[in-house]
Chain A
């Protein structure tokens, strides 16, 4: 288990607390300048840290209280850098061999390259390899030290989409075989959601939220996290508790003349609290005819944007608060349903998917 606690104010402010178990893949996600790469560098020992602790299992690499700071070259970490950082004057084989521990069998490097589907390319230098092949050499090199931790710094950003997909498959296979914590830095939420077991949202060097991707993406801790994870529709409303202590509450969407929605009352929000709320895409159901059930909102499609196989609809509620809800469906579904701009539709918002972020929390 990797345990990381970093705290410093300068030169790069960091306030990070994260864990990653064996075989688990943790994705650090955040906008540019959020400190993702700094966290990775600090874990690897490539950046001095004023205060903190980095430990993997019983092995402590950094403990500012005890004065422990193991140099980077003695931390068993494998890193794949954003642009791979392969040594340009060395062959693929020499790049991997150089990272082998002293006394390791020379054929280990060939075996690692072979494991990355690089047979026959061992003698090539980095400039003679494609982007995907370089990435695989970098991965083989990172594994050459038999690391206790693998760090991937935007490792898939410099390759084209088909190569990236193939590398995702490689990483999934690798996770099953190496069984060590993997920490990945990415700004691509789709990539993080696809690969990671847990997401850690960072901004200005601080952890805002971490958890399973589906939880972070559908239940962001606050409106700020919601915006950072790319939730476009952050609505306002007023929360009203159920009178008889029932588990269903009423959410007034918008102002006093807004739409009443049924939602789940978890007992954490006071009656009449102004809130912000979001709903993940999988909880929004689009119908052409008014369906039965609660939380059915009549809308008009304001815009329909087709992007390849996916069509995004911007639906505006007919009644106040006249809010926009974005819905994604396959282009085929949109075509077959005759869904285009100005078309009237009905959205059913699943009460389970409504995630409320209060501005005041009881007891706060």
Chain B
């Protein structure tokens, strides 16, 4: 059992969620109410990681973050080490890969808030920030929580992009999914099995939580 990889994966999942959930709330809220003509393009771009092969996404991220890219060179000058094959690079890749998982449920939750509640909030004298805090977040929390769970679970299981951008440096970029792959390559099936069981349980728990949240939301909307 590779506890170091598991800890790294958990930390990566938490960090990814910490970045993506607030961003998902802001972007999802804005897109939910936007009528901008470029909205479909923005939505399609944000959803790309859902259908792009991980290797393709990993390749572009490697090119974008690598030592030859302006971003990679700038980072190396500031941090003293390259962005690719570092935990920070891994985090950037993880954030980009998980955008749809955090953003889509959040936007759907904001879209489900009836438009007349926004009008009512304004006519009650609520500012935009107060409307978000007192009306929107309490009504959209299930979608936001659903996005959080999906992000954490998907980060724990992400393999292709992580391998291409981070490689397999123990304690730095070697996540539990890569560790499972390494253990199988080394015929250590017992360790691979333990870690796989943990990921299986986490994935199942994620799906159950999502189903439970959705059912609660449906039954609440029937009352």
Contacts and interface: CB of A to CB of B under 8 A. Distances in A.
Nearest to B138: A89
B123 A98 contact: no
A81 B124 contact: no
Given A71-B122, A85-B114, 7 more contacts: A45-B122, A72-B122, A73-B126, A74-B125, A98-B126, A98-B134, A144-B124
A73 B135 contact: no
A79 B123 contact: yes
A25 to B, nearest CB: 19
Interface in A67-84: 71-75, 77-79, 81-83
A82 B139 CA distance: 21
A120 interface: no
B139 A83 contact: no
A88 B139 contact: yes
Contacts of A78: 123
Contacts of B127: 73
Contact of A73 (B125, B139, B223): B125
A88 B114 CA distance: 11
Contacts of A101: 125
Interface in B105-163: 114, 116-117, 119-127, 134-135, 138-139
Given A73-B127, A99-B124, A81 B119 contact: yes
Contacts of A360: none
Contact of A72 (B116, B117, B123, B135): B123
A44 B139 contact: no
A147 to B, nearest CB: 9
Interface of A: 41, 44-46, 71-75, 77-79, 81-83, 85-89, 98-99, 101, 127, 141-142, 144-145
Contacts of B116: 81-83, 85
Interface residue SS majority, chain A: loop
Contact of A44 (B121, B123, B134): B123
Interface in B19-56: none
The 3 A-B residue pairs whose C-beta atoms are closest, nearest first, are A99-B124, A85-B120, A85-B116
24 contacts: A41-B119, A45-B122, A46-B119, A46-B122, A46-B123, A73-B122, A73-B123, A73-B125, A75-B123, A77-B123, A79-B119, A81-B116, A81-B119, A81-B120, A85-B114, A85-B116, A85-B117, A85-B119, A86-B120, A87-B135, A88-B139, A99-B124, A141-B120, A141-B124
Contacts of B135: 87
A357 B114 CA distance: 45
Contacts of B117: 85, 87
Contacts of B134: 87, 98
A96 B176 CA distance: 51
A44 B135 CA distance: 20
Contacts of A82: 116
A99 B127 CA distance: 11
A231 B20 CA distance: 62
Nearest to B131: A73
Nearest to B126: A73
Nearest to A98: B124
Contacts of A142: 123
Contacts of A77: 123
A206 B125 CA distance: 29
A244 B120 CA distance: 63
Contacts of A145: 124-125
B221 to A, nearest CB: 9
Contacts of A83: 116
Among A46, A81, A98, max chain B CB count under 10 A is at: A98
A99 B223 CA distance: 25
B223 A127 contact: yes
Nearest to B122: A72
A89 B139 contact: yes
Contact of A99 (B114, B119, B125): B125
Contacts of B122: 45-46, 71-73
A243 B100 CA distance: 85
A46 B116 CA distance: 10
A192 B138 CA distance: 38
A127 B139 CA distance: 14
Contacts of A75: 123
Contacts of B223: 127
Contact of B120 (A45, A71, A79): A79
Contacts of B138: 89
A77 to B, nearest CB: 6
A85 B116 CA distance: 6
B110 to A, nearest CB: 14
Contacts of B124: 73, 98-99, 141, 144-145
Contacts of A87: 117, 120-121, 134-135
A326 B127 CA distance: 54
